[in-house]
Amino acid sequence: MVRLESLVFFAQLAAFTTASPVQSTQGPQNNDAISKRENWNLDDLNKEFKGILWDNAFKDCNAGQLDKLIYTTRAAMSMLDLPFGDPEKKKEYKYTQGWNRYFGDYQWWLSNGFQDIEYATQIEHNLVQVQKYPREGHSSSTSNAKKIHFTCNYKAQVDGEKLCSSGITGAITVAPQGSSFERWTIAFCPYFFTSDKLKYLEDRTKGEKTTFAHIGDLDTYERVLAHELMHVDIVSYKPRHIEDVIGKLTPGGADLQIYGEGRCRDYARRDRPKANTAVRHNADNYSWFFLYYWFDVKWEWSKAGANADEPKTNNQNVEVASTSFPKNERDLQGSTGMPYGCTRHFLPLDSHFHPVVKCDYVGGDFTSKGGCDLTDQCRKPFANGNAVDPACVCTCDGKQTPLRDDKCAGFAGALPGRPSPP
Ligand SMILES: [Zn+2]
């Protein structure tokens, strides 16, 4: 089945979607490569963003759309950089209000055993990866298959599913497997370009200052992009895909799509004083973390005494349009293990007297001898033994393939009953 995942806005906002006309001038449409557009040079952009391919956007976005995509992507980088580049908070973002609000108090993760600490490390890994991948790209491949393809061609259909069909879908991520898009693709929908609910991060920041309680009113193009980037499997930790989680906000409550600031916050705090470890699979939680962090720094919310433990939101029962193929929370199987590239350092301890977890940029999956994709877990044998990690997954031409297939050779460790590879 084709996987489509989108950022859909709350249904009660639908009335606004018709208020702005869709921009009428379509971009040039032909199959030739287009290397120059009004203000832009394709080569320069592909060099600036080694993890993104702009070729389709150059063909199918109109001038205004292309401007918006490029401005958004550049500014999103500033937003994604901030948790790593803020001198006051470097390496300490786990102890900020933003983390607390969208992933749950870090103390909760620490107090529930080693597995939860590994899960928290997966979040850190994903934050590092999404910050680096758009600019740095894949660590070892310059293939177009390892780039995120941008397009405005929302009219394209994928196996009969129309993209952007809800009218309140901001953007949609399409996995390459079995779809007419051969690569990981983010399609930007009319709503992204016309909604009056979205503004540039810069304009929000220059606008009227609000308190942290109004973060939900500060949505930006950059946050929408961050949400979609989380869905791209070549960026984030596998074998578990980061999706739009359907979950419960209270025990026995209704299944809801965990979209939107309020739901993400409540979901993160549902199991208090334990962490709700499923947040690590939900794209929207990551995107709100980045946006909140930005305003926390720019407007000094923490210094003003921001507190994530505010009352629950009142929009819990609002239905959202669904255009994706979500899985129920009960079907969520956790990815396990420390991500490759992340290590715990017990000395020196951090300012909260906990071990420092540090994740290096890994730059995506790696390639088997037969040209298939191997997940991070394939990089080293399981638990210091000689066996291949049970979580090592080989994907050939978009299909999960048994490791015994010769095409998958190149993983570390041995299969049961086989000697270890040389
Ligand atoms: Zn999504």
CA of residue 186 to ligand 1 center, whole Å: 11
Measured between alpha carbons, how far is residue 317 from residues 6, 10, 199, 313, 394 in Å? Answer: 20, 11, 26, 10, 40
User: What is the structure's pLDDT at 288?
Assistant: 97
Q: Which run of H or E residues covers position 60? A: helix 55-60
CA of residue 319 to ligand 1 center, whole Å: 16
Q: What angle do CA 361, 366, 371 make, to 5 degrees?
A: 160
Closest CA to 384 of 319, 337, 314: 337
pLDDT digits (tens, 9 = 90+) for 303-332: 877 665 555 554 444 434 333 433 344 445
CA of residue 233 to ligand 1 center, whole Å: 13
95's tokens: 């102890």
Rg of the chain's alpha carbons, rounded to an integer? 21
CA of residue 380 to ligand 1 center, whole Å: 31
228's tokens: 């979609």
User: What is the structure's pLDDT at 420?
Assistant: 56
Domain ranges of the chain: 4-331, 342-408
Closest CA to 376 of 389, 357, 358: 389
Mean pLDDT, all residues of the chain: 82
CA of residue 48 to ligand 1 center, whole Å: 25
Strand order in the sheet with 4-8: 4-8, 169-174, 185-188, 148-151, 52-53
Please answer whether residues 390 and 238 qualify as being in contact, where contact means their C-beta atoms are separated by less than 8 angstroms.
no
CA of residue 139 to ligand 1 center, whole Å: 25
202's tokens: 């810069």
pLDDT digits (tens, 9 = 90+) for 276-285: 999 999 999 9
Q: Token match 């702009």: residue? A: 54
Residue 79 DSSP class? H
Average pLDDT over residues 169-178: 82
pLDDT digits (tens, 9 = 90+) for 346-395: 888 888 888 888 888 988 888 899 988 888 888 888 877 788 988 888 98
CA of residue 355 to ligand 1 center, whole Å: 33
Q: Cα separation of 359 and 343, whole Å?
A: 6
Q: Which run of H or E residues covers position 120? A: helix 114-136
CA of residue 229 to ligand 1 center, whole Å: 9
CA of residue 104 to ligand 1 center, whole Å: 20
Q: Cα separation of 128 and 144, whole Å?
A: 22
Helix runs in 257-347, H state only: 261-268, 283-298
What residues contact residue 229 under an 8 Å CB cut-off, 6+ apart? 130, 133, 134, 148, 186, 235
CA of residue 94 to ligand 1 center, whole Å: 23
Please answer whether residues 119 and 94 qualify as being in contact, where contact means their C-beta atoms are separated by less than 8 angstroms.
no
CA of residue 387 to ligand 1 center, whole Å: 35
Residue 215 DSSP class? G
User: What is the structure's pLDDT at 94?
Assistant: 92
Average pLDDT over residues 84-99: 80
Q: Cα separation of 269 and 276, whole Å?
A: 7
CA of residue 137 to ligand 1 center, whole Å: 21
Amino acid at 316: Q
pLDDT digits (tens, 9 = 90+) for 236-264: 877 678 989 999 999 888 889 898 999 99
Please answer whether residues 368 and 407 qualify as being in contact, where contact means their C-beta atoms are separated by less than 8 angstroms.
yes
CA of residue 6 to ligand 1 center, whole Å: 4
CA of residue 303 to ligand 1 center, whole Å: 32
CA of residue 169 to ligand 1 center, whole Å: 10
pLDDT digits (tens, 9 = 90+) for 39-91: 899 999 999 999 999 999 999 999 999 999 999 999 999 999 999 987 665 56
CA of residue 145 to ligand 1 center, whole Å: 21
CA of residue 244 to ligand 1 center, whole Å: 5
CA of residue 362 to ligand 1 center, whole Å: 23
CA atoms within 13 A on the CB side of 367: 12
Contacts 24+ apart (CB under 8 A), 308-314: 308/97, 308/100, 308/101, 308/265, 308/269, 309/269, 310/213, 312/249, 312/262, 312/266, 313/216, 313/261, 313/262, 313/263, 313/265, 313/266, 314/262
Tell me: cis bond preceding 402? Omega within 30 of 0 counts: no
Q: Cα separation of 212 and 308, whole Å?
A: 9
Pairing between β-strand 148-151 and β-strand 185-188 as defined by DSSP bridges:
parallel
What residues contact residue 83 under an 8 Å CB cut-off, 6+ apart? 89, 93, 96, 98, 127, 131, 290, 293
User: What is the structure's pLDDT at 1?
Assistant: 39
CA of residue 226 to ligand 1 center, whole Å: 10
Per CATH, which fold does 4-331 belong to? Answer: Collagenase (Catalytic Domain) (3.40.390)
CA of residue 171 to ligand 1 center, whole Å: 8
Q: Is the pLDDT of residue 24 over 50?
A: no
CA of residue 120 to ligand 1 center, whole Å: 21
Pairing between β-strand 399-401 and β-strand 36-37 as defined by DSSP bridges:
unpaired
Closest CA to 4 of 160, 152, 225: 160
